[in-house]
């Protein structure tokens, strides 16, 4: 059987296609919570989101001032990277949260923040919402999940392409141009309702117009846009890729259980703030209706039913890199300290399972 989107047939997909499918969530994973607890955790409020926006604004001013102080010195590029991370990671995380409609209780506020953060993140908001809904319904299922950003299993080449931020940037640029031209892919036609395409195309045209205006302004002499917006955004995508990669890397494809396909990990308070608590990623996929500010409480509520989160952002990323290098060299790929699907462990060669659907 040939995978029509990836071009690869594999035993995992054959098994998947032969079984009845149910949406990937808490029910499919065998995780349970009392309805009363779920109702409390799902309660929405504007206040946490507004507090986050205020703290984010202060963080941008502080790190932007570091860029200002470092101009003309060797500290400029590190300052740009830090400032870029503070722009990019929260815009990615808030765009994701507002795509779920859980960032704010007030709908117009949620949609306004969704639109602005999606503009920063460089993905038309409705395309992001529908493809991400699909990602939750078919989490890490080959031929079904429209948000599989990298090939599996991950080799060193795949890891470098992903971690550079280029794969994500290329996907966003190509997708925007396709939407502007009305050249919709089969994946888009599958996950997005037909009556939404005119609105999506208009949004994409507005986005492209804004990006072109920024480019023209820079050419006309507005260098500050280059140093305080464009370069930091592209540098910050490295951090976005690092957080995004470990959500599913080395986990199992075509699994009904979120526990088998998704990873949570520990991190520090600063990273948790910038990432909107999304290090609790298994928990988020189990109950995607729970807002970001309740994810720590959700973690506490279900932790006895889940494996321990992996040991940390840096350690998880370094171990994923180690596995990718050993796989490329034909060595044993068993991970030492992070969760890993059994079929990702090999001694020598490996079978390709899928190529990325985000292309």
Residue pLDDT, tens place only, 233-276 = 999 999 999 999 999 999 999 999 999 999 999 999 999 999 99
Contact present, 102 and 44 (Cβ < 8 Å): yes
This prediction's pTM: 0.92
Q: What is the rounded radius of gyration, in angstroms, for the C-alpha atoms of the chain?
A: 20
Task: Record the tokens describing residue 316, joined without a space.
Answer: 């998880």
Q: Cis link prior to 153 (omega < 30° from 0)?
A: yes
- Work out the mean pLDDT of the chain and round it to a whole number: 93
pLDDT digits (tens, 9 = 90+) for 145-201: 999 999 999 999 999 999 999 999 999 999 999 999 999 999 999 999 999 999 999
Q: Is residue 223 exposed (0-12), middle (13-18) or buried (19+ Cβ within 10 Å)?
A: exposed
The pLDDT value recorded for residue 17 is: 40
**Distance in angstroms (rounded) separating the CA atoms of residues 166 and 169:** 5
The pLDDT value recorded for residue 348 is: 83
CA torsion sign for 328, 331, 332, 337 is negative
The string over 138-172, giving b where at least 16 C-beta atoms fall within 10 Å of a residue's C-beta and e elsewhere, is: bbbbbbbbbbbbbbbbbbeebbebbbebebbbebb
The pLDDT value recorded for residue 20 is: 58
For 205-264, give the DSSP string.
HHHHHHHHHHHHHHHTT-HHHIIIIIHHHHHHHHHHHHHHHTTTTT--SS-S-HHHH---
């Amino acid at each position: 059987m040939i995978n029509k989107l990836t071009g690869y047939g594999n035993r995992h997909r054959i098994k998947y296609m032969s079984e009845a499918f149910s949406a990937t969530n808490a029910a499919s994973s065998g995780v349970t919570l009392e309805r009363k607890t779920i109702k409390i955790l799902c309660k929405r409020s504007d206040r946490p989101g507004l507090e986050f926006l205020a703290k984010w604004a202060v963080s941008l001013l502080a790190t932007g001032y570091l860029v200002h102080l470092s101009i003309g010195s060797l500290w400029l590029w590190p300052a740009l990277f830090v400032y870029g991370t503070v722009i990019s990671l929260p815009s990615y995380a808030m765009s994701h949260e507002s795509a779920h409609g859980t960032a704010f209780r007030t709908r117009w506020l949620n949609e306004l923040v969704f639109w602005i953060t999606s503009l920063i993140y460089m993905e038309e908001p409705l395309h992001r919402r529908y493809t991400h809904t699909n990602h939750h319904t078919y989490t890490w299922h080959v031929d079904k999940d429209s948000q599989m950003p990298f090939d599996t299993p991950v080799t060193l080449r795949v890891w470098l392409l992903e971690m550079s931020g280029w794969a994500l940037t290329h996907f966003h640029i190509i997708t925007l141009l396709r939407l502007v031209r009305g050249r919709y892919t089969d994946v888009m036609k599958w996950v997005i309702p037909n009556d939404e395409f005119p609105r999506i195309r208009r949004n994409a045209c507005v986005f492209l117009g804004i990006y072109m205006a920024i480019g023209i302004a820079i050419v006309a002499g507005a260098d500050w846009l280059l140093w305080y917006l464009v370069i930091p955004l592209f540098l910050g995508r490295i951090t976005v890729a690092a957080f995004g990669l470990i959500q599913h890397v080395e986990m199992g494809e075509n699994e009904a259980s979120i526990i088998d396909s998704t990873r949570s990990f520990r991190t520090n308070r600063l990273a948790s703030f910038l990432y909107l608590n999304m290090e609790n990623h298994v928990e988020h996929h189990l109950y995607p209706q729970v807002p970001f500010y309740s994810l720590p409480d959700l973690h506490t509520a279900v932790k006895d039913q889940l494996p321990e989160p992996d040991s940390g952002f840096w350690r998880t990323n370094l171990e994923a890199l180690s596995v990718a290098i050993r796989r490329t060299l034909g060595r044993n790929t068993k991970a030492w300290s992070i969760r890993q699907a059994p079929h990702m462990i090999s001694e020598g060669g490996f079978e390709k399972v899928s190529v990325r659907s985000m292309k």
